[in-house]
Chains A and B, each alone.
Chain A
Amino acid sequence: MIDSKYIIKDLDVSNQKELFETIGQALMEDKIVKDGFIEALLKREKEYPTGLPVNPGVAIPHTDGTLVNEDRLVFATLKNPVTFAEMGGSDENIIDIHIVILMAIKDGKKHLETLRQLIDSIKKEEFIKGLFNSKNSDEMETIIKKFL
């Protein structure tokens, strides 16, 4: 699930659409996800946003498993913050997101332990600040492997 290729520092995108397109293209080229993944992400995000009010702003976009071929977690810190709506909130609750953890997962129950650790780690300042302050993707990878 954790792949150095998908640990990205300072991803340079201007908005959510560009963010999903950039990551989605890479995943589709590697055949990790199927056609339609990007649109599904955008649609889901509009109806059921995934922004979390964890400093400095973390989002966990994902869709259901039908468009996923292989399980991958994509970690990206953003060069410039991108706005996401808050999970479970109303349209006015928007958050500036600096860290995106995109989950391309076929079957959530199969990865319960990893997902639990991931969600629990998001609440830990050491993990999120660690990712945010990493100098490069290798440092990010070290932190991710430490927590997951």
Chain B
Amino acid sequence: MKKKIIVACGGAVATSTVAAEKIRELLKKENIDAEIIQCRMNELESKKDGADLIVTTARVTKDFGVPVVHGVAFISGVNVQKTEQQILDILK
């Protein structure tokens, strides 16, 4: 079954684009079929239905009922493997 992943950031311009690409590569490597949607933090409420995972580069204060992984590692390079493992643990 195809997974649905939402990548959100404060501006939906730069950081979510780069994070989404890195996630795409990770999933390809692991043979996980998924749809990746990019959006801004304030659009999460309207886009979260049916999502298996939310990855964000910004602080999350609400509970969306969907697992959230902090993706700042894809931007700062700090703790990338840990973040990738968190994503895989949720999707597998």
| A residues at B contact (CB < 8 Å) | 44, 47-48, 50, 52-54, 60, 62-65, 87-90, 103, 105, 107-109, 112, 115-116, 119, 122-123
Contact = CB atoms under 8 A, between A and B. Distances in A.
Contacts of A64: 11-13, 40
A103 B57 CA distance: 16
Interface stretch (B29-37, B44-52, B70-78, B84-92): B70-78
A84 to B, nearest CB: 13
Interface of B: 9-18, 21, 40-41, 56-59, 70-72, 74-78
Contacts of B78: 53-54
B35 to A, nearest CB: 16
Nearest to A86: B72
B14 A88 contact: no
Nearest to B78: A53
Given A44-B11, A108-B16, 11 more contacts: A47-B41, A52-B75, A54-B76, A62-B14, A87-B72, A89-B59, A108-B12, A108-B17, A119-B14, A122-B75, A122-B76
Given A54-B76, A115-B17, A119-B75, A90 B59 contact: yes
Contacts of A115: 14, 17-18
Contact of B14 (A52, A89, A105): A105
A47 B18 CA distance: 20
A116 B10 contact: no
26 contacts: A48-B9, A48-B11, A48-B58, A60-B14, A60-B75, A62-B11, A64-B11, A87-B57, A87-B75, A87-B76, A88-B56, A88-B57, A88-B59, A88-B71, A103-B13, A105-B14, A108-B12, A108-B13, A108-B17, A109-B17, A112-B21, A115-B18, A116-B21, A119-B74, A119-B75, A123-B76
